[in-house]
Structure 1
Amino acid sequence: MENLLLTIDPGTVDWSRAQFALTAIYHWLFVPLTLGLAVIMGIVETCYYRTRTEFWRSAARFWQRLFGINFAMGVATGIILEFEFGTNWSNYSWFVGDIFGAPLAIEGILAFFMESTFVAVMFFGWKKVSPGFHLASTWLTGLGATLSAWWILVANAWMQYPIGCTFNPDTMRNEMTSFLDVALSPFAIDKFTHTVTSAWVLGAAFTVGVSCWFLLRKRHTELAKQSIKIGSIVGLVASLLAAFTGDNSAYMVAQTQPMKLAAMEALYEGGTDQSLTGIAFVNPFKQPDYMTEAEPPMRIAVPNMLSVLATHDPHGFVPGVRDIIKGYTKTDGTREPSLKEKQERGRNAIQALKDFRAGKDKEANRKILDRDMKYFGYGYIKNADQIVPFIPINFWAFRTMVGLGCLFILVFAVMLFFLYKKDITRQRWLHYVGLALIPLAFIASESGWLVAEFGRQPWTIQDMLPTWAAVSDLSSGGIALTFFLFLVLFTCMLTAEISIMCKQIKKGPEL
């Protein structure tokens, strides 16, 4: 690992990142819809269980068919995504496989098998099991999908906030010291709650959008009205929960990934009493000169709000990009080292590891590793530009996510108003708005993941391992070839899903 800077082709890093990003982006088109539709179909079948009417049975089977189509596509892309850790990121897998592999193994053995078992009962057991058992199977299918998301998000959260582990120089691996610390990390809890509630929003938006299409075509009006009611209630509650959990996530990011927060806000020079930027002119195609610019031009901000979000204190100190590079004093009085200090301590750790492996004064070198291992990754950093993520993507993706989240709250509330106070079947303008929710919800969902993953660059593991030290030593040409093969494959899969979904929606519920 110590010699990777000299042997890895930069093209290998870029293509490996591109391939993983491609797979993750396509995979994330399917996952949140699975989690969201699981709640919708569970509620609809609960209505059938309580009323035992053919209408609700037909409605439940309709939404379950759409869930099943999407579920199958999500499984296919998810399997490829996990294999890429071994093929493209073998150094990462070796370095932290003992920790990272544990939640993924639990997800595969426990959650996924639970999910796949009960989904079979849900689809094929309508005439073979009792209504109560079938209802339980439907909810357990959704619970299994949610548990799968939990363990995957635990693994992702550990990459962004590594805890519950220690480095063993004898094996050159990070080893888990506390499974509970990893599984119940505050970062993991916040990431899970925010991600799952945002997935419920997407599922609700999809339900409302499909139902509005039925109203536009004057078909299945009662199904559409009842589904809009369920979707709008779920969507409104989930949107408010997503806003609340997003506030907790912002606080955790401020504490553990200050550079990500600085990039999200285009905050170059930090300080106390920091304002939250509503909008500003940040060139979407060019990294700003963060070392000289005071702040983005045409900035409109809410006074003191960023300090509130980041520190829970309206006068709290929030570091900017330059503060993080130069070093700063935190609000609790502790000092955060400068980039140069971290680089020096990281190089000390790398050298101590080399000497330890060579058998030189193991006791002294172990002490150096214990002291400086937390900055190990900085030993691979050459300059400040490498630790500053691409600010425009983080800035605009964050505002896209938040702006659309606020729009969803408004639209779901308006839907409920017209549903209860007016005749929603005559509001064609509102039907078009509901239909537009579907692509907007996917844009908001993908924007959130862009912030999460672009914001932590260059780290595969925060402060511990940069991307170029984590990648496999492969030919960049071979990775580029598989990138385009995956691009064609995933695009065909997405096209197939959209086509099958549209056919099922046009077909409507089985009456």
Structure 2
Amino acid sequence: MTDYLHTVDWSRAQFALTAIYHWLFVPLTLGLGFIIAIMETRYVRTGDPFWKRTTKFWMRLFGINFAIGVATGLILEFEFGTNWSNYSHFVGDIFGAPLAIEGIMAFFMESTFIAVMFFGWEKVSKRMHLAATWLTAIGANLSAVWILVANAWMQHPVGCTFNLDTVRNEMTSFRDVALSPVAVDKFLHTVTSSYTLAALFVVGVSAWYLLRGRERRMAGESIALASAFGLVFALATALTGDRSGAVVARVQPMKLAAMEALYRGGEGAPLTVAGLLRPASQRPLNGDPFYFSIEIPKMLSLMSFRDADAYVPGIYDLIDGVPERGILSVGEKIERGRSAVAELARYRAAVEAADTAVQAEVRALFDPATPQGEEFLRERFAYFGYGYLRSPDEVIPHVPTLFYSFRVMVGAGTLFILTLGLVWWLNRRGGLERRRWLLRLSIACVPLAYAASQAGWILAEMGRQPWAIQEMMPVSVAASKIPGSSVAFTFFLFLALFTALLVAELSIMARQIKLGPDEKE
């Protein structure tokens, strides 16, 4: 068991490493593809070679980023089979479907048309080339749709049923999986934030040119397009983020409580705008978890349930249970989950012993059409995943990480709205180039955008710990039974490989930016 837990820890570390590196490349691809397509549309409509030159410059940066994003993404998908085989067996029938669609519908689409986009300038008509550029951008975003549907299902498993004979979950409704509230909100929030990051990248690079007095027309036109594009989607990110928070309050209340450091909830819960958390060793059991904090009264209740007086449970409320609110304690859920696990073990033993009477008895419990089955599935099997937990404290994610990640994401998002709005306005009035402080701020927003994007994913993934699948399968039983030393070796191998790829990409991107667009077209 100790060696297996060692494997689980290394598998988590390796998956986190791969996901973080992969997400350094994806957001720019999602947004920059559409910005490039808009630029090329202007070239086709006006015939102005300036727009062709500008499009090809940003396309070079897109291509560098796209290639490395594909490489890290493929490794990430393979890790489900190599490091998380128990997970893949348990829900592969569901999780595999959107990944397969992503490969067939989206990956092949973008891989095909990207070749035309880069190498077809003089080989196909203008309109055909423009279509290839748009289809590449659309294909990249279709990939995001299905990847995010799969991830959303892990956060909120729906549209499935448990097969007692195969010990697997099977899909019963593709529509429920693809269009669950979590899936829709996750896609909208993720892509709008990615479009914002791409816009900030274009604005930041263009600001660098203005500071050096280079490529003034290209920089000005790029800023005009990207700042308007980014401002629209930065505002959309705020709206989708608000909606996502309301959905999380309903389906992942522990995540909400942790990211607000709300240990004791109540009606009319305040929203903590900013604060400094005390270390766990210095926090009284029922005392203030903050050294200091800035709060907005009742705002958390209003944002979470659209009711200023709504009840929001805290961490201890969810652990101890609040019977009058219909909240079971985690201890009770663990007991119910263990009884469901025991029935599954009893069925396996009966199959091995060819005891048909016991098999029929257990089958009735897993049959929703029978009275005892309906009750068992609702009251016991619904907490199946809890049966593998060792103590109630395991369901508490790392509060400081979630608390600060959320505030980095929201604080940066607010800054982006203000910056993009000001850049758009001043550029439109012709006064941007004189505000050198704003140009420098625009450059600084580029790495901050990446930090905010990573913070959002850290919040999403660490917030559902200890679950590989929310309340269905804990991470501790999802990993493959392979030596921990093997996973540790590949962890450091990937760390070296991904770091080398990142350094190479940054070096190539910096070189291309310094060179600027081609002199002639």
TM-score class, shorter-chain normalisation, is over 0.9
- Which amino acid in 2 is paired with 1:365? V
Contact 1:215 1:425 in 2 (8 A): yes
Contact 2:32 2:199 in 1 (8 A): yes
Correspondence for 1:13: 8
Alignment of 1:430-509 (within 5 A): 430-509=438-517
Shift of 1:199: 0.2
- Which amino acid in 2 is paired with 1:344? E
Q: Find the aligned partners of 1:488 and 1:286 in 2 and give their Cα distance.
A: 34
1:287 to 1:126, Cα distance in 2 relative to 1, 3 A: farther
TM-score with structure 2 setting the length? 0.94
Q: Find the aligned partners of 2:12 and 2:365 in 1 and give their Cα distance.
A: 32
- Which amino acid in 2 is paired with 1:194? H
Shift of 1:289: 5.1
1:295 to 1:136, Cα distance in 2 relative to 1, 3 A: same
Alignment of 1:108-507 (within 5 A): 108-283=103-278, 291-328=285-322, 335-359=326-350, 361-369=358-366, 370-371=377-378, 372-507=380-515
Shift of 1:503: 1.2
Shift of 1:297: 3.2
Q: How many residues align?
A: 502
Contact 1:207 1:227 in 2 (8 A): yes
- Which amino acid in 2 is paired with 1:477? S
Query: Cα RMSD over matched residues?
Result: 1.5
1:241 to 1:291, Cα distance in 2 relative to 1, 3 A: same
Correspondence for 2:79: 84
TM-score with structure 1 setting the length? 0.96
SS at match of 2:311: coil
Q: Find the aligned partners of 1:287 and 1:422 in 2 and give their Cα distance.
A: 55
Q: Find the aligned partners of 2:382 and 2:363 in 1 and give their Cα distance.
A: 13
Indicate yes or no: 2:30 matched with 1:39.
no
SS at match of 2:272: strand
Correspondence for 2:371: none
Shift of 1:366: 3.4
1:298 to 1:442, Cα distance in 2 relative to 1, 3 A: same
SS at match of 2:162: strand
Instruction: Render the CA deviation track for 1:284-339: whole Å, top value 9, x for unaligned.
Output: x758758533442312111111001111111111110011011225xxx8612111
SS at match of 1:171: coil
Q: Find the aligned partners of 2:322 and 2:290 in 1 and give their Cα distance.
A: 22
Q: Find the aligned partners of 1:452 and 1:231 in 2 and give their Cα distance.
A: 28
Shift of 1:8: 5.3
Q: Find the aligned partners of 1:154 and 1:34 in 2 and give their Cα distance.
A: 19
Contact 2:3 2:483 in 1 (8 A): no
Structure 1's consecutive aligned runs of 4 or more residues displaced over 6 angstroms after TM superposition are none
Q: Which runs of 5+ in 1 are unaligned?
A: 1-5
Q: Which runs of 5+ in 2 are unaligned?
A: 367-376
Contact 1:268 1:290 in 2 (8 A): no
SS at match of 1:129: coil
Contact 1:349 1:368 in 2 (8 A): no
SS at match of 1:281: strand
Q: Find the aligned partners of 1:79 and 1:287 in 2 and give their Cα distance.
A: 42
Shift of 1:7: 6.9
Shift of 1:175: 0.5
Shift of 1:427: 2.1
1:277 to 1:161, Cα distance in 2 relative to 1, 3 A: same
Greater Cα shift, 285-294 or 435-444: 285-294
Correspondence for 2:370: none
- Which amino acid in 2 is paired with 1:302? I
Identity between Structure 1 and Structure 2 (%): 57
Instruction: Render the CA deviation track for 1:156-187: whole Å, top value 9, x for unaligned.
Output: 00000000001111000000011111111111
Contact 1:98 1:174 in 2 (8 A): yes
- Which amino acid in 2 is paired with 1:364? E
- Which amino acid in 2 is paired with 1:326? D
- Which amino acid in 1 is paired with 2:345? K
Instruction: Render the CA deviation track for 1:99-155: whole Å, top value 9, x for unaligned.
Output: 000000110111100111111111111112221121111111110000000000000
Q: Find the aligned partners of 1:62 and 1:347 in 2 and give their Cα distance.
A: 59
SS at match of 1:336: coil
Shift of 1:384: 2.1
Contact 2:159 2:176 in 1 (8 A): yes
Correspondence for 1:3: none
1:68 to 1:298, Cα distance in 2 relative to 1, 3 A: same
Q: Find the aligned partners of 2:125 and 2:94 in 1 and give their Cα distance.
A: 42
Shift of 1:25: 0.1
Shift of 1:507: 1.3
